[in-house]
Amino acid sequence: MTDAHPGTAAFAFLKGHGTENDFVILPDPDGLLDLSAAQVARLCDRRAGIGGDGLLRVVRSTAHPEAAALADRAEWFMDYRNSDGSIAEMCGNGVRVFARYLQRAGLADAGDLAIATRAGVREVHLAKDGDDGTPGAVTVGMGRATLPGGEVTVTVGSRSWPALHVDMGNPHAVVFVDDLADAGDLFRAPLVTPFESYPAGTNVEFVVDRGPRHVAMRVHERGSGETRSCGTGACAVMVAAARRDGLDPADTGRPVTYTVDVPGGRLVITETVEGLIEMTGPAVIVAEGDFDPAFAAAGPVR
C-alpha cells in the first residue's frame, strides 16, 4: 500500500470493527492528510464509499497540534471523526480498533500501550492471541465517569423517560426502559431536554435488564445515528446501572463488573474502587487497500 497526501497518489486505508461498530482507518503517521468534514462523510458513506460509523486517523502525537502536549505519554494520537465528518472527543470501540491496527502494523506488541485522544490518554492492554490464532481481547482504561447532575428527560414520540447524564469524556443520556423497541427509530436523534444540559448534543442509550449485573442497550450516537455498538456508551450504561443498583465501588469498597450486550456483540465493563472504568471487548481488522484520493476530494454524495 502507498501512503500519500490526497491529490498526489492513492493512499492507504483499512476497515475494522469493535462489536460491529465499524471504522475507516487512515494511517497518516506524519499528519499529512487534511480531510474536510465533507471528505470524511464521503469515505464513511455506506453506498458510495468504504462505509463506517466513523473514521480513525492514525497520527504520531508529535505531528498533531491537539496531541503534542501528550507526546511524552503516548506516541500515537487517535484523530476520531463521526460519520458526518464532525469531530468527537472519544470513541471506546474506536480505541480498541486503533490499538489492533497498531499491533497489525507492527507498531505495538501484545501487552500495554498508551493512546492519545481528545479526551486525554487512554491506557490499553492487548491480550495475547489464542492458541487457535483467535485475536486476543482488548482492554481500554476509559478514565473516570462524571455525573454532572440535573434533571434530564429523553422523549421518543409521545413517551418520555428520566435520564441520567453521564460524561465519559463525551456526553451520554442513559434511559432505562421496559423494551428496547421503546427506543423507536434511532437513526433519528431522540429529543433530550433541557437543551442546555448538552449544548453540543449527546449520545443516548436505551437500556433493559437481562439478569444480575447484565444489561442490553441500543444507542443513538451523536453525529452517526444508531450504531451496532458504542464503547463509551456501554461504560456510561454500566455506571448508570451500578448507581441504580446501589453498587458504587467507592461505597462498597469492591470493584463492580457488568456485562453489556450491544446489537453487535458483548462488552465487559468494570469500575474499580478508585473510580476508573475498564472496558474489554474484541477488535477486528477486516480489510485493507488503497483509496483513490480523487474520490475523497469530490465531497459527499448527494
Is 92 annotated as ligand-binding?
yes
Is 231 annotated as ligand-binding?
yes
What is the enclosing helix (H) or strand (E) of 266? Answer: strand 265-271
CB-hemisphere CA count at 13 Å for 151?
3
Is 222 annotated as ligand-binding?
yes
Is 223 annotated as ligand-binding?
no
Is 225 annotated as ligand-binding?
no
- Which of 58, 156, 183, 230 is catalytic? The answer is 230
Best CA proximity match to 103, nearest among 201, 31, 16, 190: 16
First-residue to last-residue Cα distance in the chain: 30
Best CA proximity match to 75, nearest among 37, 49, 107, 51: 107
Is 94 annotated as ligand-binding?
no
Which backbone phi and psi does 103 adopt, to 5 degrees?
-65, -45
How is residue 37 annotated by DSSP? Answer: H
Is 270 annotated as ligand-binding?
no
- Which of 35, 70, 91, 241 is catalytic? The answer is 91
What is the enclosing helix (H) or strand (E) of 187? Answer: none
Q: Which residues of 71-92 are buried (b: 16+ CB within 10 A; e: fewer)?
A: beebbbbbbbbbbbbbebbbbb
Cα radius of gyration rounded to whole Å, the chain: 19
Determine the angle formed by the axes of helices 92-104 and 231-244, rounding to 10 degrees: 140
Is 21 annotated as ligand-binding?
yes
Q: Is 235 a catalytic residue?
A: no
Q: How far apart are CA 93 and CA 19, in angstroms?
A: 8
Is 170 annotated as ligand-binding?
yes
- Answer yes or no: are the C-beta atoms of 24 and 53 closer than 8 Å: no
Is 122 annotated as ligand-binding?
no
Q: Would you list the DSSP string of 209-276?
A: EEETTEEEEEEEETTTEEES--HHHHHHHHHHHHHHTT--HHHHSS-EEEEEEETTEEEEEEE-TTSE
Residue ranges of the annotated binding site for substrate are 21, 82, 92-93, 170, 203, 221-222, 231-232
Q: Which residues are catalytically annotated? A: 91, 230
Residue ranges of the annotated binding site are 21, 82, 92-93, 170, 203, 221-222, 231-232
